[in-house]
Chains A and B, each alone.
Chain A
C-alpha cells in the first residue's frame, strides 16, 4: 500500500506504524460521570467496518507525523490522507 503523505508525497505503508480507528482522536472526558464506561468503550470496543474507514497511521520512519488515512478495508484502496493535527484542529481541539 502507498500512502500519499500530504507533506512528503507517496510513501510505502511499511514506513508507518498503524494505530487504528481515527475516532481514537476523540478521547473521552475523564471527569464525566460516565467516564469509566466511556473509556471502556473508547479503549476496547471497535466498529471494525467492512468498507471505507478512517484510521490513524504514524510515520515512524519518516517525519513522525500522525496521519488520518481514509482507506477501504475490502480493497485496501486509499482515497484520502490528512494530517491528524488538521483533523483535530478542525474538530475544535486546541492541538
Chain B
C-alpha cells in the first residue's frame, strides 16, 4: 500500500479500519542468497538498498527480538555530518544527502527535521579547531557556519553565556543537521524491504555460524539452521558476542550510553545544541520533551541500563550550560549498548572468514549513519568491493596503523 494524503483522508472517513499490517511475518526459508543478522536501522537499510539498488531480493533479515528493539529505537535521533577526517566526512555527508530524500524514497514519514545542529565553543583554540572542521565539511560538500557569540545569542538566547569557567564564545552551526523519528526510520526501511520481497524474520536469534573450509555457508538460529551464500552481521552493541561465535575478536568494547527525556514543554530549544566543555547535548522533540544525553558510563557492559553517577554528571553539564532547565522534571531515562570501536570510527568490511561480512563499531553516533551504512554495506555485499566513501572503514586499520582518530576517543580517551 502506498501512503498519500488522499489515503489518510479516505481512511479517516472510514474510521481508520482499512489499514493493513505494514510488513509480512514470514517463516524462515531453508536458504537465502544473503542473510542480514540484526534488524536495527542499519540491517533494515542494508536489506532495503540490496533490494532497491541491486535487485537482490532473496534476502532475509534475522532479528533476535522485534525490529528496532536495540539502539535504533533508543537513540537521541540526532543527524549531522560535521566530521573532520577524510575517512569519515564524505561518508557522513552521503548519509546527510540520503536523509534529505529519504521520505520520498521509501514513501514513509520519518519526520526528518533539518532544524540545525550547533556545537558550542568556549575558548580561542576550540574556535580554531571548529573553523578547521568547518572547512573540512565544506570540502566534502557539507554546510557549516562559524558563529560568534552574537550569532549564538540570536540562536540560543537562553544559554549561560557569562559562565565563569566556560563562557560561551560561539559555535559551529550545521543548518542541514537536525533530528529524525528513529522508529519511523527503521519502519520505513522495513516496509520498503518487505514490499520488495525481503523476509523480515523476528524472534530469530542467530546462535552460531556454519563455517566450512574457511567459508561461511549459513547460520544457526533459534528457529533452526538457515543456509546463505553471504552472511552480513549488523548487530551494533552485540557485535562482540555475535562475532565471537565465528571465532573473531574485534577492536570493539560494549559500553552503555544513557538518554533522558523531560516532561513536555513549550518550544524553546531551536535545534540541537551541544556543550563544548562537558559532554552534553540536547534537542526538543515535537511533543515538547527535552531529549538529552552525555557520556557513556565508562565500563564494559551488555546491560541496557546505566548507573547514577553519569545521570548526575549529565545533569550538571546541562545546568552549567542552560540553567533554565533546572526546574524541568525528568520523565524517562534508559540505556543502550554501544559498540565502541578503539578509535571511535565504524567498520563496514569483509572478515577473515569468506562470505562473512561485518558492519559495526558505530559507538554513540550510528543513527545519523543509518542511510549511508545501509547504502555502503549493500554495495559491499553486492559487488564485493567497498563503496568509494567507505574505503577506510576497514577492520584491519589498527594493524596497519591507519586509525580514523576523529577525536582521540574510542572506548576510552587514553587509547591512542
Contact = CB atoms under 8 A, between A and B. Distances in A.
B249 A47 contact: yes
Contact of A46 (B253, B301, B303, B399): B253
Interface residues of A, number: 26
Count chain B CB atoms within 10 A of each CB in A41, A55, A74, A76 and give the residue with the most: A76
A50 B241 contact: yes
B139 to A, nearest CB: 29
A1 to B, nearest CB: 6
Given A13-B309, A55-B300, A76-B303, A48 B241 contact: yes
A45 B240 contact: no
Interface in A43-62: 43-50, 53, 55
Interface in B245-274: 249-254
B345 to A, nearest CB: 13
Given A44-B398, A49-B241, A73 B302 contact: yes
Given A20-B253, A40-B398, A40-B399, A48 B300 contact: yes
A50 B302 contact: yes
A40 B251 CA distance: 10
Interface in B265-300: 298-300
B412 interface: yes
B307 interface: yes
Given A14-B309, A20-B412, A40-B398, A48 B303 contact: no
A31 interface: no
A18 interface: yes
A13 B253 CA distance: 19
A45 B300 contact: no
Contacts of B299: 1, 13, 18, 55, 71
Interface string B378-416: 000000000000000000001100000000000110010
B111 interface: no
Contacts of B298: 18
Contact of A75 (B249, B253, B303): B303
Contacts of A71: 299
Nearest to B298: A18
A44 B303 contact: no
A53 B244 CA distance: 15
Count class of interface residues, chain B: 20 to 34
Contacts of A41: 249
Contacts of B240: 46-50
B186 interface: no
B249 A45 contact: yes
A73 B303 contact: yes
Contacts of B241: 48-50
Contacts of B62: none
Nearest to B239: A48
A76 B342 CA distance: 22
Given A18-B298, A46-B240, A48-B241, A74 B303 contact: yes
Contacts of A46: 240, 249-253
A34 B323 CA distance: 55
Contact of B250 (A48, A49, A55): A48
Nearest to A47: B249
B251 A45 contact: yes
A21 B298 CA distance: 13
B16 to A, nearest CB: 42
B309 A44 contact: no
A32 B325 CA distance: 57
Contacts of A44: 251, 342, 398-399
Contacts of B251: 44-46
Given A48-B240, A73-B300, A1 B307 contact: yes
Contacts of A18: 298-299, 412
A74 B298 CA distance: 15
A71 B297 CA distance: 15
Which are the 9 A-B pairs with shortest beta-carbon distances?
Answer: A48-B240, A14-B309, A44-B398, A45-B249, A50-B241, A44-B251, A50-B302, A18-B299, A73-B301
13 contacts: A12-B309, A18-B298, A20-B412, A21-B300, A41-B249, A45-B251, A48-B253, A48-B254, A50-B241, A50-B302, A53-B300, A71-B299, A76-B303
Interface of A: 1, 12-14, 18-21, 37, 40-41, 43-50, 53, 55, 71, 73-76
Interface of B: 239-241, 244, 249-254, 298-303, 307, 309, 342, 398-399, 411-412, 415
Given A18-B298, A45-B250, A73-B254, 12 more contacts: A1-B307, A20-B253, A37-B399, A46-B240, A46-B250, A48-B249, A48-B252, A50-B240, A53-B300, A55-B299, A74-B302, A76-B303
